[in-house]
Chain A
Amino acid sequence: MGLEDLFKNVTKRFNDEELPENEPTVKCPRCQQVVPESRFQELNKVCPNCNYHGRLRATERLRLTADKGSFVEYDTEMQTVDPLNFPGYAKKVESLQELTGLKDAVVTGECTIKGSRTVLIVMDSHFMMASMGSVVGEKITRAFETATKKGLPVVAFTASGGARMQEGILSLMQMAKTSGAVAKHSEAGLLYMTVLTDPTTGGVTASFASLGDIILAEPKILIGFAGRRVIEGTIKQRLPGNFQLAEFMQEKGFVDMIVERRSMRSVLSHLLKLHGYEKEGTN
């Protein structure tokens, strides 16, 4: 299908006259509206009804962000060795590698955005909900170290369900490792911008995702430390619908700007240039 996991295909027909017979549809997880798939794809997976910004694959994000042909990937072959010999993990990774064409949940590399050279980090929630294990942590740490060495800014599109339980304590330690790498990059006076995308939660929210000099978020996406259901279980009541959405988190003071997908590239480019990253390879 090539569709979002969350946008389940809806077979049930509503009496919507505009929908031609048999056109595939998707249902928005935020507003539950049923939308023709073609329209959803046309908008790069944004809901035309409520403006929820759906989950992109890393390849789609790269296409929308980097100058054409400019992206050079780092660490293309890195993958997990199932360090805990955790039940079912190796098999799950193998099948996801086949399904997604990714080795793990993050793609890192270097590109230009409207001419400004930057290190780019893109997490892909289609791979084990982009949980952070050794591979994700190491690739992100190396991306920051490379940026520090080359004097480049970092732009990170975050998405994650949190730490990767299947790698036990090793996955938890990636939070400290990546935060340390951000600290070194920051100490060198270089710009780090995070773009929070759906969903950014758990150990990633509690590490590098929250440490950008500038924190952007896509509309209506989920941002949080604890899961909604965990909190509802604790307080024994339902939470309001906007809880932990980007707009809510901005109101609480944790997001600088909410930026639409269609203008993200040009906003990033302007912000890079405002920090002096004008031309390719210069600072």
Chain B
Amino acid sequence: MEQQQRSAWERQLLIRDKNRPTVHDYIPRIFTDFYEMHGDRGYGDDGALIGGIGRLDGLPVTILAQVKGRNLQENKKSNFAMPHPEGYRKALRLAHQAEKFHRPVICLIDTPGAFCGVEAEERGQGEAIARNMMEFMMLKTPIISVVLGEAGSGGALALGVCDELAMLENALYSVISPRGCASILWKDASREQDACEVLQITAEDMLRFGVAEAIIPEPFGGAQEDIDKISENLKEYLVKTTTEKLQKDLDVLQKERYTKFRKIGVFQEQ
């Protein structure tokens, strides 16, 4: 993949492709004995963010994943991967369960963002995201996050407070959708292609800013070209990283996690 770097816009098109693999493809290829666990124990179950327990190369882990549908029917069920507060609260419940049983947490991020709607507001979308970030920061078990396709704003970051973040090679991570950015900046949503470049949202950008630690290579035509191969790459990364993090003292792990985020930001002081 050293040939030529794709532009952010080219990657945007690649991850929008309807054949781009989703967690439905990855989970069975990477994990064994996967059991999905439902509900936040307060309001309901959110199909946009699923959670469960499984084995990663034999090791029990907790999996939290945002669900892109492969067709309209699946997307209806998963709300196009835009979680409501109960989705984030389910994730937090399962993360604490993982902590109790010393299981690493694997977060698979793939969302345009948290859902923006009346009920999401009424049930405290902001509070749910905030609490996840605060409590994931203190969680006494390893957390590894991977951006599979798109990672949109706070809705992604709610699964993104972790010990290490990996990006699939063509995945994008952004504070605002390029379309939204274009409409605010130039009053012209059709200039999203320009916004894509201005915002600096590629995997390489994430490494440069200290947001991500690793890039998982994709086949030339993107993850969709060879789902088995990309799953293998992803699994290999997860096994290596969880093994490494499990060897750390929990206080050290937590301190390093705090430091990872503490360092991010650029400013001057005369």
Chain A residues within CB distance 8 Å of chain B: 75, 77-81, 83-84, 86-88, 134-135, 137-138, 141, 163, 165, 167-177, 179-184, 186-187, 202-203, 205-211, 224-227, 230-231, 234-235, 239, 243-244, 252-254
Contact = CB atoms under 8 A, between A and B. Distances in A.
A194 B138 CA distance: 21
Interface size grouping (class) on chain B: 35 or more
Given A78-B268, A234-B116, A175 B123 contact: no
A77 B270 contact: yes
A259 B265 CA distance: 34
B264 A168 contact: no
Given A78-B267, A177-B261, 4 more contacts: A78-B269, A165-B175, A167-B266, A176-B160
A78 B117 CA distance: 36
13 contacts: A78-B267, A79-B267, A81-B268, A87-B198, A163-B154, A163-B176, A179-B130, A179-B133, A203-B154, A210-B130, A225-B154, A226-B125, A234-B117
A171 B270 CA distance: 21
A173 B261 contact: yes
A243 B198 contact: no
The prevalent SS among residues of B at the interface is: helix
Nearest to A174: B265
Contacts of A202: 154
Contacts of B154: 163, 172, 175, 202-203, 206-207, 225
Contacts of B211: 169, 173
Nearest to B135: A183
A210 B198 contact: no
Contacts of A86: 198
Contacts of B135: 183
B199 interface: yes
Contact of B130 (A83, A169, A171, A207): A207
B201 interface: yes
Contacts of B205: 169
B43 to A, nearest CB: 12
Contacts of A176: 133, 137, 157, 160-161, 261, 264
B201 A177 contact: no
Contact of A134 (B130, B138, B200, B267): B267
A205 B261 contact: no
A280 to B, nearest CB: 28
Interface string B178-209: 00010011000000000000111100011001
Given A163-B176, A180-B262, A254-B127, A239 B200 contact: no
Contacts of B267: 78-81, 134-135, 138
Interface string B150-187: 00011001101100000000000111100001001100
A161 to B, nearest CB: 10
Contact of A210 (B114, B131, B201): B131
B145 to A, nearest CB: 11
Given A163-B153, A170-B264, A226-B120, A183 B134 contact: yes
B133 A231 contact: no
A226 B122 CA distance: 11
A180 B121 contact: no
A211 B130 contact: yes
Contact of B133 (A84, A170, A175, A187): A175
B15 interface: no
A81 B176 CA distance: 20
Contacts of A179: 130, 133-134, 137, 161
Contacts of A83: 266
A167 B265 CA distance: 9
A206 B262 contact: no
A79 B121 CA distance: 33
A231 to B, nearest CB: 6
A187 B254 CA distance: 13
A26 B216 CA distance: 57
Contact of A180 (B173, B201, B206, B258): B258
